[in-house]
Chains A and B, each alone.
Chain A
Amino acid sequence: MRETVCAQLVEQVTDYLEGALSPEGLRSLEEHLTSCVSCENYINQVRTVIRLSARPGEAARTELDETVLQMFRSRKAVQDSHDDRAVEGEG
């Protein structure tokens, strides 16, 4: 297998980080990394971007509409009345 060069590595970085490279591909990429600081930095830049993307709670939660909660409650009320009838039926 030919040695990985930088222009190829930048197209393989996601497969690398996702663990989707073939064993030979992985070996070739890691061998390249041992001698290329720029590519090592590049991969770390992508890792930084992934970290920066994950910002929990950013979208500002919308409050749950009261009608939705009412619906959830009334669903339970309907269920309870069914249950009551079932119990009465048994009695």
Chain B
Amino acid sequence: MMIEPSKVRDEPDLAALRSGSEIEFYRLVSSNQSLMLRLAMIYCPSRAVAEEAVQEAWVAVIRGLDGFREQATLRTWICRILINAAHRLSGRESRSLPFSALDSSPDDQLPAVDPDRFIQSGPWAGHWSSPISDWIRLPEAALLSGKLHDIVKAAIADLPESQRLVITLRDVEGCSTSEVYEILDIHDGHQRVLLHRARSRVRAVVEEHLSTDVD
């Protein structure tokens, strides 16, 4: 049974924040800043603009603390503020729902694996035409090397925006499905389609790298 990271994460003490606890504010910042920057960088043309969006979001968070209604978690509320700031600073038209733009990209319809990898006809149609390798047998060093992380990171950066958003929140930052729903307004089913496509693509990139590099 997997434990959802969000269940483990401490929720900040809202009352302490509202009464001005700097320690609590630092905790809030350190537990959200990395996610905010990563999200902002998906929308903003440069890192500098993304950092500006993060700063602007914090200002809005401080101003809005008293008005925050606890229907959402602080984290998802902060993310939505951040996304609005990032939209504005990067000159996108503002939308009441940040993700009405999450139209499916033609790329979302692509198969997870190149159809040529499967036998096309005969009694074995649909089965692998050549075996899939067991990465568990790879030298641990290959899996743990920073290089493989860099390849994954680059593959994620190359994904269409909607896929990049969902995989960043779910797999990079460890958000739960319901948090992603609160932040992006994408229902479970659509999230899974985007996540599926994103993970499939990243796997293919890693496979390609390993087949040329580790043999």
B-binding residues in A (CB < 8 A):
5-8, 10-11, 13-15, 18, 20, 36-39, 41-42, 44-46, 48-50, 52-62, 64-65, 67-69, 71-73, 75-76, 79-80
Contacts and interface: CB of A to CB of B under 8 A. Distances in A.
25 contacts: A7-B115, A7-B127, A10-B111, A13-B112, A13-B200, A18-B192, A38-B132, A41-B133, A44-B135, A45-B206, A46-B200, A49-B152, A49-B199, A49-B202, A50-B199, A52-B206, A55-B153, A55-B172, A57-B34, A62-B55, A64-B58, A72-B22, A72-B62, A75-B63, A80-B20
Interface stretch (B25-33, B70-78, B80-88, B91-99): B25-33
A15 B30 contact: no
Contact of A53 (B25, B127, B128, B156): B156
Contacts of B149: 52, 55, 58
Interface in B104-152: 111-113, 115, 118, 125-128, 131-136, 143, 148-149, 152
A5 B71 CA distance: 44
A62 B37 contact: yes
A37 B127 CA distance: 11
Interface string B173-215: 0100100000000001000100110011011001100000000
Given A36-B128, A46-B199, A53-B171, 17 more contacts: A7-B115, A10-B111, A10-B113, A13-B196, A15-B192, A18-B177, A37-B131, A45-B203, A49-B203, A53-B156, A58-B34, A61-B30, A61-B34, A69-B25, A72-B22, A72-B62, A75-B20
B112 A11 contact: yes
B79 interface: no
Contacts of A50: 171, 199
Contact of A41 (B134, B156, B171, B195): B134
Task: Name the prevailing secondary structure of the B interface residues.
Answer: helix
B127 A6 contact: yes
A81 B153 CA distance: 49
Contacts of A80: 20
Contact of B112 (A10, A20, A53): A10
Interface centre among A44, A56, A59, A64 (most CB of B within 10 A): A59
B124 to A, nearest CB: 9
A7 B41 CA distance: 35
Contacts of B203: 45-46, 49
